[in-house]
Amino acid sequence: MRLAVIIPVLNEAATIEAALAALAPLRGRGAAVIVVDGGSGDGTAVRAAPLADRVIVAPRGRALQMNAGARTEEAAAADVLLFLHADTRLPEDADRIVLRALANSGRCWGRFDVRLDAPGASLRVVEFMMNARSRATGIATGDQAIFVARGAFVALDGFAPLPLMEDIEFCRRARRLSPPLALRSRVLTSARRWQRHGVWRTVALMWWLRLAYFLGADPAQLARRYRDAR
């Protein structure tokens, strides 16, 4: 089985080389790394090119970019697609963990537990809440490095073209195919969102956005609210 890692990016020139360098061991074992740029103005795509198997440009928006990456030849040759944020780091043996877990479980998708990359008791509580909520609901966020068998992704018609909550919406549909694999291996993701705006203010905002979405709010309006709060 072969893995393809798809990374949607926008103006990540400061971090993209380190993010891709961390994936070099996976590439060495046969994984394909696909970077999908949403029109960066800082040279992200140029910096990414030497360290990825494919760099493409797609219309801006995480869902649109991830779908574009899944349509590349490199992704079509893979058995499993893993969608990774540029500020998230996988375990060194993530490819082996994912492929083995899918093969042994009979399930078709899943995600990792998450750890935030900064110290502080409040952030440890946030991690616990994120992982526990995801395990209880079968819903994952993009920070948790969602992975899915390519056949299942095609059957689900990929991510819905939403400006926000595309990960939540995808998980709701994917649960109809199988429960998710909730891997206890952890990805390391950036804590900058919580540090910039305050831990509990950010938690409250994210819970409010999710509740509003589940109650039928327009994702475009929620995206504007999210951008205004950043």
Q: Identify how many contiguous H helices and E strands the chain contains and give both numbers.
A: 12, 8
Q: Is residue 213, in this structure, part of any structural domain at all?
A: no
Q: Is residue 204, in this structure, part of any structural domain at all?
A: no
The CATH number of the domain holding residue 104 is 3.90.550.10
Q: pLDDT for 20-53, tens place per residue?
A: 999 999 999 999 999 999 999 999 999 999 999 9
Residues near 70 by Cβ (< 8 Å), separated by ≥ 6?
A: 6, 81, 150, 153, 158
Q: Is residue 200, in this structure, part of any structural domain at all?
A: no
How much is the pLDDT for 214?
Answer: 80
Q: Is residue 225, in this structure, part of any structural domain at all?
A: no
Full domain range(s) for residue 185: 3-191
Residues near 121 by Cβ (< 8 Å), separated by ≥ 6?
A: none
Q: pLDDT for 57-80, tens place per residue?
A: 999 999 999 999 999 999 999 999
Q: Is residue 185, in this structure, part of any structural domain at all?
A: yes
Q: Is residue 214, in this structure, part of any structural domain at all?
A: no
Q: Is residue 139, in this structure, part of any structural domain at all?
A: yes
Question: Total domain count for the chain?
Answer: 1
Whole-structure pTM value: 0.93
* Mean confidence (pLDDT) of the chain: 94
Q: Is residue 202, in this structure, part of any structural domain at all?
A: no
